């Protein structure tokens, strides 16, 4: 995410076409600088993923550090499960949204969450953690240098015997894809989600825009994911000084009955676990 926030919104092919068609009404934004993410997030989105991770977290391992927390997709399920969570997120908009949502929660739950604005590829907190987690798709926002920074930062923040848990797509070798899907947000607003996947470029572009083509302003939100295979991430983790267990598959909230996600569990090499 850090790369996209630093360099501005991605001008996807679909975004270019939309902006050309709507003229002066068109506004291009990063998906992470708008409230679209929190509007589209469903209450159950992160539950299965948090449960998979929680089942691997050792009892009494202390607070969980969640990286790229966004608007709380994993944060709230972890808090509901009784964990103490430090939620790190770079986007000012998403940090504000997460804090607003926490204000509506019971005092006990609020008291177990610390929200920190920071970059998952380069962070320094005055604390170590028994578990560091990063949710489905978030690692794919980082380029090669960003992932190296992520691994180095995690190394500096893991307790001895601690676990680094990463979930990612279980897609195997990706095929080219282009599709539209209409979605309804919590606000009742309707959106179109456009996905373009290009294995040749090793990217997946996301474009979200109003279903009502008369909207003014017509805000187009974009994001770009790197297409990463699990064996590449495992290899990078090992090169960064981690031992990695055999990846475990599970079904994400949108998995339609199939195991469409993988969970990687890593620990510092030489840790007695």
Same domain flag for 151 and 187? no
Full-model pTM:
0.86
The answer to whether residues 112 and 215 belong to one domain is no
136 and 16 fall within a common domain: no
Residue 3, pLDDT > 50, answer: no
Instruction: Say if residues 83 and 55 touch (Cβ distance below 8 Å).
Output: no
The better pLDDT of the pair 169, 139 is held by 139
* 70 torsion bin: left (phi>0), alpha (psi -120 to 50), beta (else): left
Q: Indicate whether 2 belongs to any domain.
A: no
Same domain, 186 and 67: no
Per residue in 152-164, pLDDT tens? 999 999 999 999 9
Residue 4: per-residue pLDDT = 45
Q: Is residue 166 part of a domain?
A: yes
For residues 8 and 1, give the distance between their C-alpha atoms in angstroms, rounded to a whole number.
11
Residue 255 within any structural domain of the chain = yes
Beta strands in 79-217 (DSSP E): 85-89, 113-117, 129-134, 158-169, 177-184, 190-198, 203-210
Number of compact structural domains in the chain: 2
Residue 3 lies in a domain: no
Cis peptide before 217 (omega within 30 of 0): yes
Kindly tell me the sign of the dihedral angle through the C-alpha atoms of 49, 52, 56, 62: positive
Domain check: are 63 and 165 in the same one? yes
Residues 197 and 124 in one domain: no
For residue 4, being part of any structural domain is answered with no
Residues 6 or more apart whose Cβ sits within 8 Å of residue 97: 35, 37, 38, 71, 72
**Which range marks the domain in which residue 127 is found?**
40-171+229-268
CATH number at residue 125: 3.40.50.150
CATH number at residue 16: 3.30.1040.60
Same structural domain for residues 123 and 250? Answer: yes
- What's the pLDDT band for 2 if we cut at 50, 70, 90? very low
Same domain, 60 and 126: yes
Comparing 23-37, 82-96, 204-218, 219-233, the range with the smallest average pLDDT is 23-37
How confident is the model at residue 1, as a pLDDT? 47
Position 1 in a domain:
no
Same domain for 18 and 59: no
Burial class (CB in 10 A: 0-12, 13-18, 19+), 25: middle
Report pLDDT digits (tens) over 185-240: 888 999 999 999 998 888 899 999 999 999 999 999 999 998 888 999 999 999 99
Same domain for 76 and 59, yes or no, is yes
pLDDT of residue 258: 63
Q: Are residues 127 and 166 in the same domain?
A: yes
State the average pLDDT over residues 108-123.
96
Report the chain's mean pLDDT, rounded to a whole number.
89
| Same domain, residue pair 164 and 95 | yes
Do the domain assignments include residue 69? yes
State the Rg of the chain over Cα. Answer: 18
Distance from C-alpha of 273 to C-alpha of 215, rounded to nearest angstrom: 55
For 21, counting Cβ atoms within 10 Å of its Cβ (0-12 exposed, 13-18 middle, 19+ buried), the class is: exposed
């Amino acid at each position: 995410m850090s790369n996209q926030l630093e360099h501005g919104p991605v001008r996807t092919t679909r975004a270019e076409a939309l902006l050309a068609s709507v003229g002066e009404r068109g506004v291009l934004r990063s998906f992470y600088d708008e409230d679209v993410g929190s509007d589209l997030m469903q209450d159950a989105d992160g539950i299965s993923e948090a449960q998979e991770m929680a089942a691997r977290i050792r009892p009494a391992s202390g607070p969980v550090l969640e990286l790229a927390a966004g608007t709380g997709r994993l944060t709230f399920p972890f808090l509901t499960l009784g964990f103490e969570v430090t939620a790190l997120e770079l986007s000012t908009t998403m940090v504000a949204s997460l804090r607003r949502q926490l204000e509506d929660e019971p005092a006990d739950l609020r008291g177990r969450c610390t929200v920190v604005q920071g970059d998952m590829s380069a962070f320094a907190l005055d604390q170590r953690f028994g578990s560091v987690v990063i949710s489905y798709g978030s690692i794919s926002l980082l380029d090669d240098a960003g992932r190296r920074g992520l691994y180095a930062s995690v190394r500096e923040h893991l307790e001895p015997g601690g676990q680094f848990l990463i979930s990612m797509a279980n897609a195997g070798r990706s095929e080219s894809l282009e599709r539209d899907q209409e979605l309804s947000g919590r606000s009742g607003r309707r959106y179109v989600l456009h996905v373009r996947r290009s294995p040749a470029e090793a990217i997946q572009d996301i474009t979200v825009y109003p279903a009502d083509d008369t909207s003014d302003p017509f805000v187009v939100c974009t994001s770009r994911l790197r297409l990463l295979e699990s064996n590449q991430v495992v290899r990078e983790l090992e090169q960064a000084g981690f031992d990695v267990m055999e990846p475990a598959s599970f079904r994400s909230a949108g998995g339609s009955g199939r195991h469409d996600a993988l969970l990687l569990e890593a620990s510092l090499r030489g840790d007695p676990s």
